[in-house]
Amino acid sequence: MELTASSYVSMLVYIFTFLLGLPANLLVLFVYIRKARKHGATPNVVYALNLCVANLALVLWMPVKVAETVLQGWALPAEVCPVYSFFLFFSVYGSSLILTAVVVGRYLSIAYPITYKLYRRGRTSCLVSAILWALVLLHLGFAYLAEGGGHFVSLSEHNVSTCYENFTQEQLEVLVPLRLEMALLLFLLPLVLSAFCTLRCLVLVRHSSLPSGGKRRVLAIALSTLVVFVVCYGPYNVSHVVGFVLYTNVGWRSEAMLSSSCNVFLEPVVMLMLSPWTPRDLVDRLCRKRRDTSYVSMLVYIFTFLLGLPANLLVLFVYIRKARKHGATPNVVYALNLCVANLALVLWMPVKVAETVLQGWALPAEVCPVYSFFLFFSVYGSSLILTAVVVGRYLSIAYPITYKLYRRGRTSCLVTAILWALVLLHLGFAYLAEGGVHFVSLSEHNVSTCYENFTQEQLEVLVPLRLEMALLLFLLPLVLSAFCTLRCLVLVRHSSLPSGGKRRVLAIALSTLVVFVVCYGPYNVSHVVGFVLYTNVGWRSEAMLSSSCNVFLEPVVMLMLSPWTPRDLVDRLCRKRRDTSCKFWHQHYCSRASRNPQTTTTQAASIISHGESKDDKARANKADSSIKVT
């Protein structure tokens, strides 16, 4: 069954929900746990932590949601379906109620500040949260009773197993009224309450003596909370009302769930707005222990050098042998370019380690731009070449005949030349921003640093350029790679490949996409954050750690693309050693045969008679024939 356009949209939404929701909620946990340690468990802290628990309960199941969308069905055991559904609805309705409690608490603190202060206790907020969770669990318990002993897994009209989609008439008689009651009690009532509290807050703040900046902040928090509530939870609960009117399970509930999943990265924004920390304070607090993280950075760079150098040399060995045997295929060209990019970074790792240990730049200032050039040359060159590998893999599967006509080494060389030219063009603009100096300046600790401190004139060029690089050299290739990967999975799933071949293609496609996101994501996110704050963010060095890991992760992907198995690789690596040993054995015994032919003949016959390996027998026969010649 082919994926529809809505399935592709759903897939992308769930992927970005996972990629954005996980770090966002972990950041909120970090902020509010630090706040709780300093000021105690205030209501905002309690509600924020409950929201994080609810969001993480949903975001951790996003990979299963993506797999369900790609496979167009349920592939896990039937017993997992109710657990999966429980966490999804537990998160959606729990988040909506906790968000309502946040809005009501905000209103009470403005309308009745003295009375509210008397009851503003962490215990009260914990009790309120417990009551709200109990209300959600009660409704989910009724839904589970409607299951009637099964697992909500049934066959669809396409004869594919589905989870929580097809119901019997007896189940619908319980579920349809229950869903309507949940939409009214757990959505409509909280929505009305939130709207009333938000409007009252706006009226009260408008007539208060707060400064204009404070009024704008309260206005932004109140309206953003209400918008998140309506946009995220509205469509899914509307599907319950429509389902009650039609008395059926409406088919677009899956699409309505998309907006509900977006709450996992929108609600953290609201909670961070409620925090007294500004973005600059947040960055400063995240980077406070930078000296402590230097030890982690040093270990990462050391292991990157120790693993990256032999791994890339191994890939060079494999693909050069492949080029000699089969010519310069696209995979060979891309693999060799990846090796060049990775070695350009890994050979500078000792300098990176020294810079981390010394907490500054100790080499001549003229070396700094060269060092920076190879670092960024490697990072962005690797990301583009990896995208070319993914696109080539997709074209070879989707359009095998057409792709074979253009599957030439020259075409791949042209593609890589264009990609390298694109990287060099951007790095050239960055060098022009240097303004004749070498990016070496004194830090606040009066220590020389390389490519860390910039003047305002340099930032006016670098900050927009970095954003453009993040969008053009990372986000666009990421979207292209994600599309090609997902299409490959769909095409391979419906192909006649054996199960082993399908698993191999699946492993290669997903590992390539994971390496792309994990290695290049954090560093490019730092560019976006730097543009928003219009500064050089202090945690770019930590973000560079994941980018350096690509030098030993990408060789794994390229070896997976090679047709050699690990055993073949070991055999080919050891072939010369065996050949050298044979040659030495042959020369040694031939020289002895000239002195004592009978002894050598007896030893050769002994090897054959004792059933040694085929290699030993061949050596013995060669030795015996050489004796006869002698």
Q: What would the DSSP string read from start to end of 176-216?
A: HHHHHHHHIIIIIHHHHHHHHHHHHHHHHHHTS---HHHHH
178 and 301 housed in the same domain: no
Tens digits of residue pLDDT in 29-44: 877 887 787 777 788 8
Amino acid found at 252: W
168 and 216 housed in the same domain: yes
Instruction: For the chain, give the percent of residues with pLDDT over 70.
Output: 80
Distance of CA 439 to the CA centre of its chain: 31
How many CA atoms does the CB half-sphere of 173 hold within 13 Å? 4
Confidence of residue 134 (pLDDT cuts 50, 70, 90): very high
**Residue 341: inside a domain, yes or no?**
yes
The predicted structure's pLDDT at residue 310: 82
Tens digits of residue pLDDT in 499-545: 777 777 777 888 888 888 888 888 888 888 888 888 888 777 788 88
Residue 626 has pLDDT above 70, yes or no: no
426 and 504 housed in the same domain: yes
80 and 192 housed in the same domain: yes
Tens digits of residue pLDDT in 254-298: 788 888 888 888 888 888 777 665 555 554 554 444 444 566 777
Output the six-digit token pair for 416.
């890589």
Confidence of residue 603 (pLDDT cuts 50, 70, 90): very low
Residue 369 has pLDDT above 50, yes or no: yes
CA angle 135, 138, 141 (to 5 degrees): 150
Average pLDDT of the residues in 543-565: 78
Residue 102 has pLDDT above 80, yes or no: yes
123 and 179 housed in the same domain: yes
Lowest mean pLDDT among 139-153, 238-252, 361-375: 139-153
3-state DSSP helix/strand/coil percent for the chain, to nearest 5?
80, 0, 20
- Tally of domains in the chain: 3
The predicted structure's pLDDT at residue 580: 41
Average pLDDT of the residues in 79-91: 84
- For residues 28, 32, 33, 37, the Cα torsion angle rounded to the nearest 10 degrees is 160
Cα–Cα dist 190/101, whole Å: 9
**Residue 284: inside a domain, yes or no?**
no
Among the listed residues 267, 257, 268, 228, the one whose alpha carbon sits nearest the alpha carbon of residue 62? 257
Residue 418 has pLDDT above 90, yes or no: yes
Q: What is the CATH classification number for the domain harbouring 250?
A: 1.20.1070.10
Average pLDDT of the residues in 93-116: 87
Residue ending a domain, among 256, 277, 298, is 277
The predicted structure's pLDDT at residue 159: 66
Q: What is the DSSP string of 288-354?
A: TTHHHHHHHHHHHHHHHHHHHHHHHHHHHHHHHHHHHHH---HHHHHHHHHHHHHHHHHTTHHHHHH
Residue 450 or residue 599, greater confidence: 450
Instruction: For the chain, give the percent of residues with pLDDT over 90.
Output: 4
Residue ending a domain, among 510, 538, 563, is 563
Cα–Cα dist 145/152, whole Å: 11
Tens digits of residue pLDDT in 376-404: 888 888 889 889 988 888 888 888 888 88
Residue 56 has pLDDT above 80, yes or no: yes
88 and 231 housed in the same domain: yes
269 and 335 housed in the same domain: no
**Residue 282: inside a domain, yes or no?**
no
Residue 226 has pLDDT above 60, yes or no: yes
578 and 549 housed in the same domain: no
**Residue 283: inside a domain, yes or no?**
no
Average pLDDT of the residues in 218-246: 85
227 and 301 housed in the same domain: no
Cα–Cα dist 269/28, whole Å: 9
What residues make up the domain containing 613? 570-629
The predicted structure's pLDDT at residue 590: 42
83 and 64 housed in the same domain: yes
The predicted structure's pLDDT at residue 132: 92
Tens digits of residue pLDDT in 184-213: 998 999 999 989 988 888 888 877 777 777
The predicted structure's pLDDT at residue 131: 93
Residue 630 has pLDDT above 80, yes or no: no
**Residue 624: inside a domain, yes or no?**
yes
Residue 457 has pLDDT above 50, yes or no: yes
Residue ending a domain, among 252, 277, 302, is 277
Confidence of residue 597 (pLDDT cuts 50, 70, 90): very low
The predicted structure's pLDDT at residue 417: 92
69 and 203 housed in the same domain: yes
The predicted structure's pLDDT at residue 435: 58
55 and 109 housed in the same domain: yes
**Residue 114: inside a domain, yes or no?**
yes
Tens digits of residue pLDDT in 5-21: 777 788 888 888 887 88
